[in-house]
């Protein structure tokens, strides 16, 4: 099922400091998010206090999850496990095995995590590679493709990954469940790893400034 996409054009009629309420699951492009932040526009999801560019805290125990057609079945299975473990899955699609494009759902999950609609996120496609690449294009997202318990633990402990990427055709459902369990249970270690994560954020910030400067030129 296609999802609404919010672009810069949709913000043209919104005055500075105004508010725009959109349907939950709407995909907000990076340019639209930047424009909203620059003009002080609040983009609020229906039935949600969180807003783009705001200081909203992640919804505790809420995990955003999204998949393309290749990851649909695994998504549905992992949602069951999340509920059994006391989490609330925020399903951002897709809703069937009909062919769709994985970047749309990876971006939706990354946006939800960065906005604070969810504490963490999960993206799934056939191999997990494309979704991790797409999610990492959203500023503030740190998506890690994990294929066993060790990589799951490392991505959280060392890299403070906030999005888990899984390849549904590369691992068995039981392996995916174990990876997810370890990933959710592992906290960020901080310490010497913090300065490295800070450097990742610094790279992101530098390139974001360069893009804005190039856009004004």
**∠ Cα 182 63 47 (to 5°):** 170
Whether 122 and 74 have beta carbons less than 8 Å apart is answered as no
Output DSSP code: residue 138: S
CA separation for the pair 106, 121 (Å, rounded): 9
Residue 45's H or E segment, with its range, is strand 42-45
Active site residue 207: no
Of the listed 69, 158, 193, 207, which one is catalytic?
158
3-class secondary structure, 183: helix
Q: Tokens at residue 169, please?
A: 């055709």
Write out the catalytic residue numbers. 158
């Amino acid at each position: 099922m296609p999802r609404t996409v919010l672009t810069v054009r949709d913000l043209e009629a919104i005055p500075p400091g105004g508010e725009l309420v959109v349907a939950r699951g709407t995909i907000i492009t990076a340019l639209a998010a930047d424009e909203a932040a620059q003009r002080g526009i609040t983009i609020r999801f229906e039935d949600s206090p969180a807003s783009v560019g705001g200081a909203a805290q992640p919804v505790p125990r809420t995990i955003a999850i999204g998949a393309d057609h290749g990851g649909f079945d695994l998504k549905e299975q992992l949602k069951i496990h999340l509920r059994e473990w006391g989490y609330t899955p925020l399903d951002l699609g897709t809703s069937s095995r009909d062919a769709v494009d994985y970047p749309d759902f990876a971006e939706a999950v990354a946006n939800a995590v960065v906005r604070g609609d969810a504490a963490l996120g999960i993206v799934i496609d056939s191999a997990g590679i494309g979704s991790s690449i797409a999610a990492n294009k959203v500023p503030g997202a740190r998506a890690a493709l994990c294929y066993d318990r060790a990589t799951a633990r490392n991505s959280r402990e060392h890299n403070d990954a906030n999005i888990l990427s899984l390849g549904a055709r590369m691992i068995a459902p039981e392996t995916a469940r174990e990876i997810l369990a370890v990933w959710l249970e592992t906290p960020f270690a901080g310490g010497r790893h913090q300065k490295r994560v800070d450097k990742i954020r610094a790279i992101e910030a530098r390139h974001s400034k360069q893009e804005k400067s190039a856009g004004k030129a």
